[in-house]
Structure 1
């Protein structure tokens, strides 16, 4: 073979397999991006299933070292069921879970865990390979969620493959589910323009209420940050049962915050009294004593203002929860008349329905605030 000749596809596939045989199977020896690029080439060349499986296994061994752009691979299947190769990512994740030996420490993700100001209470904030992979998969789910060809079982299976203890917060998973529901609840005219592959279907298979509830069961409302809870409470795409749970746990978080502020306020009151008595007893011999007492008083006033606003928010949430309970009882007694207008009526009565005439909606503002604007 001359130096200027071009290798045929069979020769390229043979060369690819030989290169893989020369590389030792060891984590971190070769960058993950290299294996991902080789996997793309192998699928373009239609390499043997054993070669593709070998590459997926090597990527799975060091999945925690991969980046999001590494996983976003287009589908090279002739059927083009999905725009992205979700099946390959599912197999890669399965290989990682099979090789990873890290067990949950301290009950992370257990039912007793809760979130306070975006942090998990009662569990260590350790970053392990499993937590990195969980964040990576949540980002991948949000990336592929706009694909209208991605069916619910495949999306749900990939999200459920990540163990519960691996997610310190469920904000990333909530964002992916919200994007998926937003696309699947669009009107048929939208998704027919979005993907020409879907024009062969006469109607878009909208998600039923039971399917949405089944998908939202993946969420742990106790592991949502306060910003995510605020967004979910106004999200009309979520089932009513999920919104009730979110409001309940948001109320618990606010009560915990108020209780913490009370403790800090009591400590500051005691400290200010000691400073005041010490200042009167010792006079003004030390110039720093008066300044420290004034600072403590100012901090105490700021905390009291914050507690007043929190008390008002807790009262509002209690009223909303009681109103929702009454509405749920009414919905259970009455017959199912009105179809899709039931949720709109409930939203109007409770006062947190989203006004579609305003361009800046709360669900758009939330993702901008946390740096995940869509």
Structure 2
């Protein structure tokens, strides 16, 4: 009886154009009935105005009840609180134990009402984390016993509303769950792109399991490689400078792990595998070892590949960022084409020897001012310098941690160059001192004293 009276009261209010100010005195249940009537009777005069008014007041009631609204003025808040009768207030207090007390009451919303409600809640600065949870709950509840067309309409609306929220409030797991739901639905391209962009912006936090999405129905390959490529392109769409170095490194490691996972798929085309290898820029990678293992596995599982196809894939490898062990393995790997196989790391030994010789030669120059002041014989010092260079003239065995050793040598060379600059400055000063002392010795008819004892 109460629901019938409320419905009649609503119809009378709309048709007679009575003041909409009366709505604020309605209870929670009366407001829900009014909203349902608006959805069921959209042809009524002023129905759309009533719908917007009810949704806005409903949003205010939820915001006030949860203490989440920071935009409502104190005047409106006090007026709205006084509008709640004792029965409505008691009913809400019972549900306050959970922040999601209103979720079930609003599941009757149409997609149009849902969009109006979310926009109203955002304007009232409602907690967007809670709002995103409601949207996920709404989607899951609406999918029970729904047709494909209804599911498609609901998921598109939920995606569009999630896209209006702050990206930091969205759960990556929830977004991937929605993505998997959309695989069996033919949603519009706009919603699809928005969902992939939301996921792409958080790809630095994704795991390998997130990316292992099955291929579309009818495809002969195992995983949806095209989807992964789009996600990584979305991740890099803002430019490489937009992502932090740690996120770029995680994304590169994630792609390497994905390539290892999909490499054994016999139906994966070489063009797609090459696209995976090139999607992450070289500057984001510190090492290519994992990619090398993925390519090695791909060549092993695709024995019918031509040399030209292999060479294209091998072009994605940066040999300078391969570890010493991997370069040794690559130089002896028969599965790789000869053109892409680098020379053996041992052949790089003369370059390292030259670096060592330059360092020792520079070191010998450091002691020049001291030798001059001490009056040490030049021939004797040249012999010692020669001995230092000869120490590294024999065959040099590179250690296993060759990369770290090379960086250490480069650092030493830099420090020696700095010392050489200091050396030249000291030489100039010593010449000035010598000239001044020689001049004074002529004046005083004294012998030149020793500069250093």
Query: Into which bin does the TM-score normalised by the smaller protein fall?
Result: 0.5 to 0.7
1:11 equivalent among 121, 135, 150: 150
Who wins on radius of gyration, i.e. which is larger? 2
- Would you say 1:183 and 2:301 are equivalent positions? yes
Contact conserved, 1:229 with 1:250, CA < 8 A, in 2? no
* Alpha-carbon separation, structure 2, partners of 1:99 and 1:254: 44
1:235 aligns with 2:333: yes
Mapped partners of 2:330, 2:149: distance in 1: 53
Matches of 1:129 and 1:253, distance apart in 2: 36
Q: Which of the residues 335, 345, 348 maps onto 1:252?
A: 348
Match 1:72 to one of 212, 228, 237: 212
**2:162 is aligned with 1:162:** no
Task: Deviation per CA, 1:328-371: give whole Å up to 9, x if none.
Answer: xxxxxxxxxxxxxxxxxxxxxxxxxxxxxxxxxxxxxxxxxxxx
Q: CA deviation at 1:71?
A: 0.8
1:221 aligns to 2:221 (yes or no): no
Change (3 A) 1:64 1:7: same
What TM-score results when the alignment is normalised by the length of structure 1?
Answer: 0.54
Corresponding residue SS for 1:88: helix
1:34 is aligned to 174
Deviations 1:46-77 (A, max 9, x none): 333333222111111121111111111111x2
User: Residue 323 of structure 1 aligns with which residue?
Assistant: none
SS of residue paired to 2:267: coil
Whole-angstrom distance in 2 between the partners of 1:151 and 1:177? 13
Specify every segment of 5 or more residues in structure 2 that has no aligned partner in the other structure, as ranges: 1-106, 109-140, 364-391, 403-453
Inter-CA distance 86–256: structure 2 relative to 1 (3 Å threshold): same
Q: Which residue of 1 aligns with 2:191?
A: 51
C-alpha contact 2:156 2:188 (8 A) present in aligned 1: no
Instruction: Give the drift of 1:218.
Output: 0.9
Runs of 5+ consecutive residues of structure 1 not aligned to the other structure: 105-125, 186-205, 268-303, 315-374
Q: Which residue does the alignment assign to 2:88?
A: none
Counterpart residue number, 1:149: 267
| TM-score normalised by L of structure 2 | 0.45
The question of whether the paired residues in 2 share the 8 Å contact of 1:134 and 1:162 is answered with yes
Between stretches 48-57 and 214-223, larger displacement belongs to: 48-57
- 1:242 shift after superposition: 2.2
What CA RMSD, in Å, does the superposition of the two structures yield over aligned residues? 3.7
For 1:253 and 1:11, the matched residues in 2 are separated by 69
> CA 1:134 to 1:6, structure 2 compared with 1: closer, same or farther past 3 Å?
same
Alpha-carbon offset, residue 174 of structure 1: 0.9
* CA deviation string 1:310-329 (max 9, x = no partner): 49xx9xxxxxxxxxxxxxxx
Match of 2:222 in 1: 83
Does the CA-based 8 Å contact 1:148-1:183 persist in structure 2? Answer: yes
Preserved CA contact (<8 Å) 1:35 1:55 = yes
User: Distance in 2 between the 1:166 and 1:152 partners?
Assistant: 23
The count of residues paired between Structure 1 and Structure 2 equals 232
Change over 3 Å in CA distance of 1:229–1:100 after alignment to 2: same
- Secondary structure class of the residue paired with 2:174: helix
> Is the contact between residue 292 and residue 317 of structure 2 (CA under 8 Å) also seen in structure 1?
yes
SS in 2 for 1:98: coil
Instruction: Determine the C-alpha separation between the residues in 2 that align with 1:257 and 1:33.
Output: 53
Q: Does 1:100 align with 2:239?
A: yes
Q: What are the equivalent positions in structure 2 for 1:189-208 lying under 5 Å apart?
A: 206-208=304-306
- Do 1:43 and 1:52's aligned partners in 2 also have CA atoms closer than 8 Å? no
Query: Per the alignment, do residues 309 and 94 of structure 1 end up closer, same or farther by CA in structure 2, a change over 3 Å counting?
Result: closer
Task: State the alpha-carbon separation in 2 of the partners of residues 217 and 50 from structure 1.
Answer: 35
CA distance in 2, matches of 1:19, 1:145: 35
Q: Which has the higher contact order (CA 8 A, sep 6+)?
A: 1
- Shift of the 257–61 alpha-carbon distance from structure 1 to 2, 3 Å rule, reads farther
Alignment correspondent of 1:340: none
The secondary structure found in structure 1 opposite 2:330 is helix
The offset of 1:89, in angstroms, is 0.9
Equivalent residue for 1:209? 307
